[in-house]
Structure 1
Amino acid sequence: MKNKVVIITGSSCSGKYTVISKLLSKYPTFKFLPSETTRTMRDGESDGNPHIFITTEELHARSISGKYVVEELINDIYYATTFDVIENAIENSPISLKEIGVDGAMELKKKLGDRCITIFLSVEKAELERRFTTRGTPDFEKRLSRYQYEFNLGNKMDVVIDNNSDIELTIRTIEGILKLNELGGN
């Protein structure tokens, strides 16, 4: 397999970063591609893990100067990915993992073509609500209001994986899709 950007997308709380974390742990040669975001840092996060945290003013200035390959506004929070991050990944890493919203995934797919694969993590609405409650997400009703829209766009991705309950099955499915047995994980 030539160098690829593997785009993991889905609704908020669908397990995108959990899947990416497990893949990064198992395959240390993989590279994670962080987004820049205006959202507040959560407990356990740091700058660059899983995002680069910047102000709205900084993001707008970078946008105007043409730094971004893709930008999204999700639930009043901006997320953006720089051209440099994507180009460096395609040039230097066999597999790079990108967590991004469904709109951003569609946009990146248009721009990268066969240099990427889009994977939508499908989770039932009731399960998402349970995860939001467990995580203590204060604005989860607003996030759930995007469910049908995200689900509909998700069905346009290259691959749709059920991620309701068995994270290990999700990982094995992705490994099979990417033929990771050829790369040798931990």
Structure 2
Amino acid sequence: MTAEPTAARTADPAAPVPTFRPAGARDVAAVVALVESAYRGEASRAGWTTEADLLDGQRTDEAAVAELLGRAESVVLLAEQDGRLLACCHVERRGATGYFGMFSVSPTAQGGGLGRRVLARAEEWARDAWGVTAMEMTVIEQRADLIAWYERRGYARTGVYEPFPYGDERFGIPLRPDLRFEKLLKSL
């Protein structure tokens, strides 16, 4: 797994800010391609968010993304620049809490601050659209580098775990027997 970008690779304040918009049905295939490129296969190793050492197979599919788009109080946010999809995430209201997931940044766009911008926009969306007071997510426990990245952005480990869905290849093919998710939480 590639290490997280160092402090020297921070956002360039002069870099153009991406535009954000909610995804629609016509975006489903592009979202799936982005998510797969960020997490699975050799192409994902160009970035630091790859799960290629933990999981094989797919990360998501068109049916799963379309289902997210059809849920009430759910949005898939896209970050684009010059007509190119660079990042996405799923945000959903779950009572007084927002849920953040399916966070993907193109491997070639990682390390320059785009991820921080997407996360901040998702938190803003959840606060403004639904009035939630906290954001939660689940992260594979073995992703220590990713969990540390979220901790630096105000998320706390809760010690609450969920099992990995072994045997359900819609979520990937595990390459080790000890995967599980940890819930992270941040007050907004």
TM > 0.5 fold call: no
**Which structure dedicates a bigger proportion of its chain to helix?**
1
Q: Under a length normalisation based on structure 2, what TM-score does the superposition of the two structures give? A: 0.32
Q: Which has the larger share of strand? A: 2
* TM-score calculated relative to the size of structure 1: 0.33
